Amino acid sequence: MGRLFGTDGVRGVANADLTAELALGLSVAAAHVLGEAGTFGDHRPVAVVGRDPRASGEFLEAAVVAGLASAGVDVLRVGVLPTPAVAYLTGALGADLGVMLSASHNPMPDNGIKFFARGGHKLADELEDRIEETYRSHSSGQPWNRPTGAGVGRVRDYDEGFDNYVAHLIGVLPNRLDGLKIVVDGAHGAAARVSPEAFARAGAEVVTIGADPDGLNINAECGSTHVDKLRAAVLEHGADMGVAHDGDADRCLAVDAKGEEVDGDQILAVLALAMREAGGLRKDTVVGTVMSNLGFKLAMEREGIRLIQTAVGDRYVLESMKENGFALGGEQSGHVIILDHATTGDGTLTGLMLAARVAATGRPLAELAGVMQRLPQVLVNVPDVDKSRVNSTPALSSAVADAERELGSTGRVLLRSSGTEPLVRVMVEAADIDHARSVAGRLADVVKSTLG
């Protein structure tokens, strides 16, 4: 059996890979491991538990709550809220841990469990490993030490979570959004109520789509992975801009008034300039990944802002930010982290901050996003190859070097092995899309012939 915890908690097909028994067992294990690690101190521990609106979240939430309460943890059940809301409430309420049930942008049949430590921060890898080890040892027959009587955890609904989180979002905005008309696509997910409410309280005129979750339609042809409906709605309503979230609302992509997509790199560029102007961009640095568009890097260089690039994955972006004291980072996918106001990517916060910049400057989003020219980027997946040799094959290294010389300073080549599949990803950027496709095709052929 492989490792349960991935880069973003435990995920799988609900009721197949991710069962009620697994959810309950992991929750009990988490309570014991965190207790033994001294996280709870000498007080009665409290957990915040939230979920997205997937149908499977109903029984998985029941299992998690039962597991925590059976281990002596009091539970505040906040219901359907975004992942960043659960993280925020875990910190704001002084809870000892948080649990979010969501599979983010994955299709409806999937679900996942993510644990947060005190303060709303992601659990350290070492603690996740210990939780998994403890779960496995007890699932094979070792009995739990269970409290009885008054020692069992108590469970109550915390209905104030919604208003507390929205008030937090409004409270950190640098200015109001009065005069803006904004379309919000909630992906029929966890932000379906929260995000429109936050934009409206901030003063915007709000048009909502993807805001009718029924447990089965999350991410279905909507949200940040399908922006066509958002684009159409912005044009139909003559809106100034639109924002789209994923299922658990830790991401945000945008659409300008002309219906053009504004991706995570462009959002980072706009926010970096805004934060520097306000004195909040610490060390004049923004953190991205190796997949950040070359146009983003060139724009930041031109503006005198340093770009630090990490491995792909928001966890690596966050690690760099925390270790070095940076304030802003994110990914092209729209996972943006504003560390002064959130412990994880927050799609609603990102959208609000982007809109606030539009309102404050009086400039259209298209003009603001034009600070960077997004260079054409072609990604080719080459399957069924020995990805372990991607960096140690002379013929492949030579082909990459030739391609880099051909592209010069206005292009880029990146080869990386997939973390989950037997394939190599070939990414090429160039000033011209046809040139990028040509180079990517040639390199993919070399990958097949040398690693196949």
Binding site, by residue number, is 104, 246, 248, 250
- Token couple for 35: 């207790």
- Token couple for 28: 């009990």
Rounded CA-CA distance 419/140 in Å is: 29
* Virtual torsion, Cα 105, 106, 108, 114, nearest 10 deg: -80
In one letter, which amino acid is 279?
G
- How many C-beta atoms surround the C-beta of residue 97 within 10 A? 24
Q: Please identify which of the residues 27, 102, 104, 292 carries the catalytic annotation.
A: 104
Query: 252, 276 in Cβ contact below 8 A?
Result: no
Helix (H, G, I), strand (E, B) or coil at 365: helix
Residue 104 is a catalytic residue: yes
Cβ neighbors of 403 (< 8 A, separation 6 or more) are 413, 428, 439, 442, 443
Residue among 256, 236, 235 nearest 244 (CA):
256
Binding site for Mg(2+), by residue number, is 104, 246, 248, 250
Residue among 77, 112, 110 nearest 95 (CA):
77
Cβ neighbors of 88 (< 8 A, separation 6 or more) are 120, 165, 168, 342, 343
Query: 330, 288 in Cβ contact below 8 A?
Result: yes
Residue among 269, 261, 303, 260 nearest 288 (CA):
269
Cα 225 off chain centre by? 13
Residue among 255, 390, 263 nearest 336 (CA):
263
Rounded CA-CA distance 223/98 in Å is: 25
Under DSSP, the state recorded for 384 is: S
Residue among 254, 240, 265, 185 nearest 358 (CA):
240
21: burial class by Cβ within 10 Å (0-12, 13-18, 19+)? exposed
Under DSSP, the state recorded for 387 is: G
- Give the angle 327-125-248 at the CA atoms, nearest 5°: 60
Q: Which residue is associated with the tokens 């982290």? A: 337
Query: 100, 51 in Cβ contact below 8 A?
Result: yes
Which residues form the catalytic set?
104
